[in-house]
Amino acid sequence: MKQELTVIKLQEKLYRIQEDSEFMNVDAYLICGQDKAVVIDGLAIMPGLYDCVRAITDKPLSMIVTHGHPDHAGKGMQEFLEAGCEVYRSPREKELVELYIPETDLALIKDIEEGNTFNLGGIILEIMELPGHTPGSVVVFWRNEKILFSSDAIGSGGLWMQLPESLLLTEYLSGLGKLEDLLANYPETKIYTGHSWQIISHIDKDRDYLNKAYVDELFALTEGIIEGTLTGDKKEIPMDIMEGIDIRSVKGNEVVDYCYDVRKIHKKKI
Ligand SMILES: [Zn+2]
């Protein structure tokens, strides 16, 4: 656990900013174009994201929040709003994102949807919707560099699809299918997630990103659960919000803990 945010330069124009607090170990990403810079996700409780970013770039700044969970739409997002930066999120994440934000800041929160692009000058970021973990989860694709920022949408080794706000696995599968189509054209894509420490601790100590093989496996596991060829082991997660949920977990090679709610696989036949 560290007292300050950690900044890691991943490559030219791309930085990971990592919080390792008592609440969470979680990542945000800064992408710096010639004209503008964008931060993906707003960390959890630790202050300093805005100052960290300002020490790297003085370009106009905005933030894309991939989904409204408090470890991605937290203190850093609040700092960006207070500094007058626009913050983008899916309208389907409105309630979650605005839960902890004072009313005065709401005007700076804007909608994004499938196909929206952010032109930073020499860098274009594309928004792709991947609902499932939450109803309005998005991922961000940097096509020229073949980099995908996925936050929690496909997990980081562990995946939480058992949450009260998570969608049916059948709905998730169609989004995963779309991602598979994209990766078929860009098979060497590096996928930077919201919790890179999980990849390093549970998948490969020398790798801080996921790749197509992980998504292939996730797709196959999801299909298996839906078709009934795969049944997860019963799992207990000692948190209030998990109470009364019948959680199961399956695993593959890279997907180490795929949690789902056994009652939210497909629509019940009436
Ligand atoms: Zn999440």
CA of 230 to the centre of ligand 1 (A): 24
CATH number of the domain that residue 68 is part of: 3.60.15.10
Higher pLDDT, 50 or 239: 50
CA of 137 to the centre of ligand 1 (A): 9
In a domain? residue 186: yes
Q: What is the pLDDT of residues 241-255, one digit of tens each?
A: 899 999 999 999 999
Please determine, for residue 85, whether its predicted confidence score (pLDDT) is greater than 90.
yes
Q: What is the pLDDT of residues 220-236, one digit of tens each?
A: 999 999 999 999 999 99
In a domain? residue 269: no
CA of 194 to the centre of ligand 1 (A): 8
Element (H, E) at 125: strand 124-129
In a domain? residue 47: yes
Residue % of the chain over a pLDDT of 70: 97
* pLDDT on residue 270: 53
The answer to whether the CB of 42 falls within 8 A of the CB of 71 is: no
Token pair 């174009």: residue: 33
Copy the structure tokens of residue 90: 């899916």
CA of 95 to the centre of ligand 1 (A): 14
CA of 267 to the centre of ligand 1 (A): 23
**C-beta contacts of 57-62 below 8 A and 24+ residues apart:** 57/30, 57/32, 59/32, 59/33, 59/35, 60/35, 60/36, 61/36, 61/37, 61/85, 62/36, 62/38, 62/86, 62/87, 62/88, 62/118
Non-local (6+) Cβ contacts of 235 within 8 A are: 247, 248, 249, 259
CA of 122 to the centre of ligand 1 (A): 30
* pLDDT on residue 104: 64
CA of 59 to the centre of ligand 1 (A): 29
Of 69, 14, 19, whose CA–CA distance to 195 is shortest? 19
In a domain? residue 192: yes
Non-local (6+) Cβ contacts of 48 within 8 A are: 4, 5, 79
In a domain? residue 74: yes
Q: What is the pLDDT of residues 5-16, one digit of tens each?
A: 999 999 999 999
In a domain? residue 236: yes
Number of domains in the chain: 1
In a domain? residue 267: no
Domain extent for 205: 6-261
Please determine, for residue 1, whether its predicted confidence score (pLDDT) is greater than 80.
no
CA of 134 to the centre of ligand 1 (A): 7
- Identify the band that residue 102 occupies on the pLDDT scale cut at 50, 70 and 90: low
* pLDDT on residue 23: 83
For residues 183 and 125, what is the distance between their CA atoms, to the nearest angstrom? 16
In a domain? residue 106: yes
